[in-house]
């Protein structure tokens, strides 16, 4: 994230909930980032966890995209599976759609998303791909 990515005062911005300290990652932990928490004084941060919005529990098994990237899952050319092989593609797609629905309801045009995630990871994640495809600016956060 770069300082010029901060957004305008009061702007509604989606944020991966784990970056704000919500314990929603697959392992039940978070990826709290002080710089993102500090942004909440400048923007209206809307925490989202697409995997939970898709109906998956926390904690849950780690998952990965099999056969492509997030775009491929959206287009039906790849799937998302837990490491034991259970197909959870529908949950990831549902979570992506619900996240997009929130963005539209709130008129959010930007999303701070956690990298290296099968949901939120830019270029790889299902939700990141759907949001980007819908014209929402993705700001990757380590």
The pLDDT value recorded for residue 6 is 62
CB atoms within 10 A of CB 90: 12
The pLDDT value recorded for residue 5 is 55
Instruction: Please compute the mean of the pLDDT values over residues 11-38 and round it to a whole number.
Output: 97
The pLDDT value recorded for residue 7 is 64
Tally of structural domains, the chain: 1
Is residue 91 a contact partner of residue 118, using CB atoms and an 8 Å limit?
Answer: no
- For residue range 71-86, list pLDDT tens digits in order: 999 999 999 999 999 9
Residue 50 structural domain: 3-141
Q: Which residues contact 74 (CB under 8 A, 6 or more apart)?
A: 93, 96, 126, 129, 130, 133
- For residue range 38-78, list pLDDT tens digits in order: 999 999 999 999 999 999 999 999 999 999 999 999 999 99
As a whole number of angstroms, the distance between CA 127 and CA 92 comes to 8
Looking at residue 67, the DSSP 8-state letter turns out to be: S
Is residue 76 a contact partner of residue 131, using CB atoms and an 8 Å limit?
Answer: no
Confidence (pTM):
0.93
Give burial (CB, 10 Å; 0-12/13-18/19+) of 45: buried
Mean pLDDT (the chain) is: 94
The pLDDT value recorded for residue 75 is 98
């Amino acid at each position: 994230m770069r300082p010029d990515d901060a957004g305008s005062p009061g702007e509604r911005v989606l944020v991966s909930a784990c970056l704000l300290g919500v314990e929603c990652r697959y392992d039940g932990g978070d990826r709290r980032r002080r710089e993102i928490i500090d942004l909440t004084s400048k923007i209206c941060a809307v925490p989202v966890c697409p995997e939970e919005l898709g109906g998956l529990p926390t904690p849950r098994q780690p998952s990965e995209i099999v056969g492509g990237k997030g775009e491929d899952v959206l287009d039906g050319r790849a799937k998302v599976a837990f490491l034991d092989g259970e197909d959870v593609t529908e949950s990831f797609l549902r979570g992506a759609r619900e996240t997009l629905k929130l963005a539209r309801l709130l008129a959010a045009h930007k999303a701070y998303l956690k990298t290296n995630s099968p949901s939120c990871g830019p270029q790889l994640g299902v939700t990141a791909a759907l949001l980007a495809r819908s014209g929402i600016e993705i700001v990757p956060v380590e």
